[in-house]
Structure 1
Amino acid sequence: MTAWLPGWLRHYRRAWLHGDVVAGVVVTLLLVPQGLAYALVIGLPPVTGLYASLPPLLLYGLIGRSHAQSVGPMALTSLLAAATLSRLAAPGSAEYLALAVWLALLSGAMLVALGVARLGFLADFLSAPVLAAFTAASALLIVLAQLAPLLGLHGGGAALPALLAAVLDGWQGFNPLALGVGALTLLWLVGARRLLPPTLARAAPVLAVLLGIVAVREAGWATRLPVVGAVPAGLPAFALPRLPWERLAELMLPAFFMALINYVQSLSVAQLLAEPRHERVEPDRELLALGVCNLGAGLFGGFPVTGGLSRSLVNAAAGAHSPLASWISAGGIALVLLFAGAALASLPLAVLAATIVVAVYPSIGFGALRQAWRADRADAVAFVLTFVLVLLLGVESGIVAGVLVSLGAWLWRSSRPHMAEVGRLPGTQHYRNVTRFATETLPGVLFLRVDESLYFGNARLVRDTVLDRLAERPQLTTLVLIMSAVNRLDASAVTMLQWLDDSLALRGVTLALAEVKGPVGTVLARAGLLERFAGRHFLSTDQAWRHYAPAPDFHI
């Protein structure tokens, strides 16, 4: 009878209720200003941020598995949506809103399809340095985009040149009152984070919103200060805006990147929340849940959503034990939509801008760049290139360039595999690089270890390296290729091994193989090479050493 209920609800414990209620209320207080603010980042009416918040909170509880994941509007997702939509329609227009809805629907449909097909591994194409650079640059763009509302100006643009140009062009409209309200809000929010207990600090944005509304109403600033404006009362209605097929086609690629980035963010949050509780995250299930959440947001007038790191951590810290906390937050959002629309109309945009700055600023960091520089310079280059291009060209161009650089660096490294001559550590069965350890070698025998899988991209270089080593040492009679690090072999590599065996045989050099792994051996067997190497195929390097070592001299 209750089989259709989610697992957490079927096994709900009474002891969880207090924590879920508290967490639900706290997240509501955090999500209301965030939802309004992130809608403004996209260029949509602020109320759409609440529309985008309500359905995902309900739907994730039905499908998702994370106990404290809070799905809703996110700063980076909003910036990515703004960068996409601003090229296709005028911000604030009916077509712009329709495009935002369809961006959520298409990215949601793609996430569902990826989840059903169990293709969660696609997120791995976004390397950690590229994602960190994208996050840092996007956060910086979001902060810079708030300069206009903080100064009382009309901003625009999704990249650094356009943002700065909008501020410079509209400088004559500078509003000192907006700057004063924004600066005071910034001081309050920063001070609350540093001086107040965490529980009170989380309510600081709501208090800033309330004070901003009261100030506008009591001081009569509605005509002197840019405000949110009319907010329709009532819950979001189910609707599917019409859009020509050619416009949908323009959204396909941006929707795919949106889906990929949102999934990476949401999965990262789910894994972070699961670790302290020793829980297991199901990536494909998270794909499906996030896709349904985006479909829900789009069908009720919202925009793309994902798992929010700060909100989810607050949810967990406030005591959330189950998705009931998100359902309570959804109830809170519903109450705001039903009864607080008139009050929100008087909310200064400068207050929302300050809220965005304080929420996003911590994401501007370069720790990942320092770590990448120490570990792998190619990853550091990918970080810098992604960061710069996101700033100058926008988020889509930057993330594409970063992915291409990461894949290019991987291809470049794998096409130039490390190949080490190895020898035996005296008195042992261990074999190490002769340039790093004091080893012993066999006269006339070269043991060469290939530290990479063999494929079309490096087969020629491996062949040329072998020939160069043999040319340097014409006295060699045997070459043993140690394949302990070779995990895969393609047709080009098989052809190379055949050619190398024939070529060395003409020079009087024997080619042998050692430590061939099972999957590689299967490929060699299908290609007929195991028969060719019969008697020259060894399970271990030590077995090959003993085979080719000269017989002991027992003469006295």
Structure 2
Amino acid sequence: MTVWLPDWLRHYRQEWLAGDVSAGVLVALLLVPQGLAYALVAGLPPQVGLYASLLPLLLYALLGRSHAQSVGPMAVTSLLVAASLAKLGLGSAGDYLLAAIWLALLSGAMLLLFGLLRLGFLADVLSEPVLAGFTAASALLIVLSQLGPLAGFRATGASLPAIVDNLWLHAGNYSQPALLLGLPALLLLWWARSGLPRLLHAWRLHGLLLAILSRGLPMLVLAGSMLLVAWLGWQGQLPQVGRIPAGLPAISLPALPASGLAALVLPAFFIALINYVQSLSVAQLLAIPRRETVDPDRELLALGACNLGAGLCGGFPVTGGLTRSIVNAEAGANTQLASLITMAMIAALLAWGSGLLASLPLSVLAATIMAAVAPQVRLQPLLQAWRADRSDAIAFAVTFLLVLWLGVDSGIIAGVVISLAAWLMKSSRPHMAELGLLPGGSHFRNVQRYPQCQTLPGVLILRIDESLYFGNARHVRDALLARLAAERQVHTLLLVMSAVNRVDVTALAMLQRLDETLAERGIRLQLAEVKGPVWDVMLGAGLAERFTGRVHLSTYAGWQALTPAPDFHI
């Protein structure tokens, strides 16, 4: 029976228990306000965020490999859900909820399928600049969307123009009690990110007490706001969470939404993609200090099961949360037992304490969201990319602006297109360097960077720094012919293939036509450092025989073969 248990449970040590318990309690204090708040971001009843935090924690503990990954609702995912469902024109809150549940089920099924097919490389579809631009713009949209709830009115819109227009229309409909509670809560939570830890350190507080006071402050703020509402008699003067159904959610397959499933397939795919990239990034970050490795395909399976579990519990899509997972690790989590403790505390709250949340002011929940999400509006990656690679900086900026202007659902599609277009643009114009021999050795370098390099008369040695495929074959051929036209009295072109990892049929056809064209001009084409996989493709296509006697094991071997024999005179 133990073979079905996860590794951490089969090899559990007693000394891990204290760290797991403290981390589980602390993450529960953080996850409760986040779950409630992120459900509101998605346009769902607040308890749905807690429902989505139950089975995913259990399933990841059984199937996941990260010791401290905490799976549950996330801000960007919630905004994606809201943006996707807003375009469907659903007529009732019930249809909206069913559609959100099916987004979790569909994205979970997709992730499971991707895991079974070992498609872990899907995480590479989004480049780092595009993902950073998407995250920063999404975080900014979330912050702006909470200005309405902070002031006591409901704000809609999934793009910057829509949010600004909605805020303008409701400019005079604010609630003074909501602002009096929300603004101080926002300032307190913002100060707690940096000022509170310094103050607690000055008071010589350390360990678990320090973590609870600093990380558990959002829960304390929520509790304090409910007490203030009751003390001041503001129950009917500002929006509140309202009655939350008591008890745990039933595990069942929901009815189909009125919109049907076809309209949800594409949004579910992009939600699955973003959630997977987020979860895998968090797992890899947590694995570095422990010198562990992360299996992307295993993470796909685990995250897929978590989303299916969220949907069966009546929740919406979930992923690994960066803030919660880091808090979990820093609080001492040694295994996924910490997540099971978190789940047990949330389940206990739903079963016996849900009535305590009814008077919770939505303006304070909005402040919680804004304080948690605002640090993700980071433009430093844009500046770093601008200094390193202008094309990456453009990708960041374009994604950022498109997400703001069009919304996160259209922005993520644009982000994928930009990532692929940027890769295609770079790989379609590969760098080619003329090589020369460094004096006194057998090493070759770019003659433009190392002017002291030696060259052979009549021989042009060029290194292609990219794999050859249909997207760059024509450009490589034209660039080589243009280079030879500029060089006079070249009788041999030696192509160094050390950076060519793959070739396709289009590239092989290009090499054959290039060889024929050069032969007509009296120029002999030779190859050096052809890798095994590339040579196998050439063999299969029948091109290897054509270059028999013209392929060198190394660039230096080609140099020696092309060096004229010394002319001795007696």
The answer to whether residue 503 in structure 2 is matched with residue 489 in structure 1 is: yes
State the alpha-carbon separation in 2 of the partners of residues 418 and 173 from structure 1.
59
Partner of 1:257: 270
The aligned runs of 1:352-431 (5 Å cut-off) are: 352-431=365-444
The answer to whether residue 536 in structure 2 is matched with residue 522 in structure 1 is: yes
Report the alpha carbon displacement of residue 269 of structure 1 after superposing the two structures with TM: 0.9
CA offsets 1:252-301 (integer angstroms, 9 cap, x no match): 01101111110111111111111111122121111111111111111111
State the alpha-carbon separation in 1 of the partners of residues 4 and 530 from structure 2.
50
Report the alpha carbon displacement of residue 553 of structure 1 after superposing the two structures with TM: 2.1
The aligned runs of 1:180-259 (5 Å cut-off) are: 180-193=180-193, 194-196=195-197, 197=200, 198-199=210-211, 200-243=213-256, 247-259=260-272
The aligned runs of 1:12-161 (5 Å cut-off) are: 12-90=12-90, 93-161=93-161
Report the alpha carbon displacement of residue 187 of structure 1 after superposing the two structures with TM: 2.1
Report the alpha carbon displacement of residue 90 of structure 1 after superposing the two structures with TM: 4.7
Give the letter aligned to residue 409 of structure 1. A
**For the Cα contact (< 8 Å) 2:30–2:215, is it kept in 1?**
yes
**For the Cα contact (< 8 Å) 1:44–1:92, is it kept in 2?**
no
Partner of 1:545: 559
State the alpha-carbon separation in 2 of the partners of residues 244 and 183 from structure 1.
38
CA offsets 1:341-398 (integer angstroms, 9 cap, x no match): 2221100001100111111111110121112112221111111111111111111211
Aligned with residue 474 of structure 2, among 449, 460, 465 = 460
**For the Cα contact (< 8 Å) 1:139–1:361, is it kept in 2?**
yes
Give the letter aligned to residue 117 of structure 2. A
State the alpha-carbon separation in 2 of the partners of residues 374 and 445 from structure 1.
37
Report the alpha carbon displacement of residue 172 of structure 1 after superposing the two structures with TM: 2.4
State the alpha-carbon separation in 2 of the partners of residues 203 and 458 from structure 1.
55
State the alpha-carbon separation in 2 of the partners of residues 332 and 381 from structure 1.
45
The SS at the match of 1:171 is: coil
The SS at the match of 1:172 is: coil
State the alpha-carbon separation in 2 of the partners of residues 257 and 121 from structure 1.
15
CA offsets 1:386-437 (integer angstroms, 9 cap, x no match): 1111111111211211221221121112111222222212232122222221
Report the alpha carbon displacement of residue 143 of structure 1 after superposing the two structures with TM: 0.5
The SS at the match of 2:413 is: helix
Report the alpha carbon displacement of residue 465 of structure 1 after superposing the two structures with TM: 2.1
The SS at the match of 1:247 is: coil
The answer to whether residue 285 in structure 2 is matched with residue 285 in structure 1 is: no
CA offsets 1:130-188 (integer angstroms, 9 cap, x no match): 11111111111111011001111111111111111111111221112211110111122
Aligned with residue 321 of structure 2, among 295, 308, 315 = 308
CA offsets 1:456-483 (integer angstroms, 9 cap, x no match): 2222222222222222234222111111
Q: Which deviates more, 148-157 or 459-468?
A: 459-468
State the alpha-carbon separation in 1 of the partners of residues 52 and 228 from structure 2.
28
**For the Cα contact (< 8 Å) 1:379–1:406, is it kept in 2?**
no
Relative to 1, partners in 2 of residues 1:473 and 1:278: Cα closer, same or farther, differing over 3 Å? closer
**For the Cα contact (< 8 Å) 1:37–1:46, is it kept in 2?**
yes
What TM-score results when the alignment is normalised by the length of structure 1? 0.97
CA offsets 1:298-325 (integer angstroms, 9 cap, x no match): 1111111111111111111111111111
Report the alpha carbon displacement of residue 245 of structure 1 after superposing the two structures with TM: 8.3
Give the letter aligned to residue 244 of structure 2. V
Number of residue pairs the alignment of both structures matches:
556
CA offsets 1:2-55 (integer angstroms, 9 cap, x no match): 222222111111111111111111111111111110011011111111111111
State the alpha-carbon separation in 1 of the partners of residues 319 and 119 from structure 2.
18
Relative to 1, partners in 2 of residues 1:91 and 1:359: Cα closer, same or farther, differing over 3 Å? farther
The answer to whether residue 328 in structure 2 is matched with residue 327 in structure 1 is: no
State the alpha-carbon separation in 2 of the partners of residues 292 and 527 from structure 1.
44
Q: Which deviates more, 5-14 or 31-40?
A: 5-14
State the alpha-carbon separation in 2 of the partners of residues 537 and 245 from structure 1.
65
Q: Which deviates more, 315-324 or 346-355?
A: 315-324
Q: Which deviates more, 502-511 or 71-80?
A: 502-511
CA RMSD in angstroms comes to 1.5
State the alpha-carbon separation in 1 of the partners of residues 549 and 131 from structure 2.
50
Partner of 2:312: 299
Q: Which deviates more, 276-285 or 469-478?
A: 469-478
Partner of 2:363: 350
State the alpha-carbon separation in 1 of the partners of residues 85 and 285 from structure 2.
31
Q: Which runs of 5+ in 2 are unaligned?
A: 201-209
Partner of 1:318: 331
Q: Which runs of 5+ in 1 are unaligned?
A: none
Report the alpha carbon displacement of residue 527 of structure 1 after superposing the two structures with TM: 2.2
The alignment-based identity, stated in percent, is: 63
Partner of 2:519: 505
Partner of 1:471: 485
Relative to 1, partners in 2 of residues 1:421 and 1:192: Cα closer, same or farther, differing over 3 Å? closer
Relative to 1, partners in 2 of residues 1:246 and 1:50: Cα closer, same or farther, differing over 3 Å? closer
**For the Cα contact (< 8 Å) 1:154–1:166, is it kept in 2?**
no
**For the Cα contact (< 8 Å) 1:59–1:292, is it kept in 2?**
yes
Q: Which deviates more, 261-270 or 440-449?
A: 440-449
**For the Cα contact (< 8 Å) 2:88–2:259, is it kept in 1?**
no
**For the Cα contact (< 8 Å) 2:459–2:493, is it kept in 1?**
yes
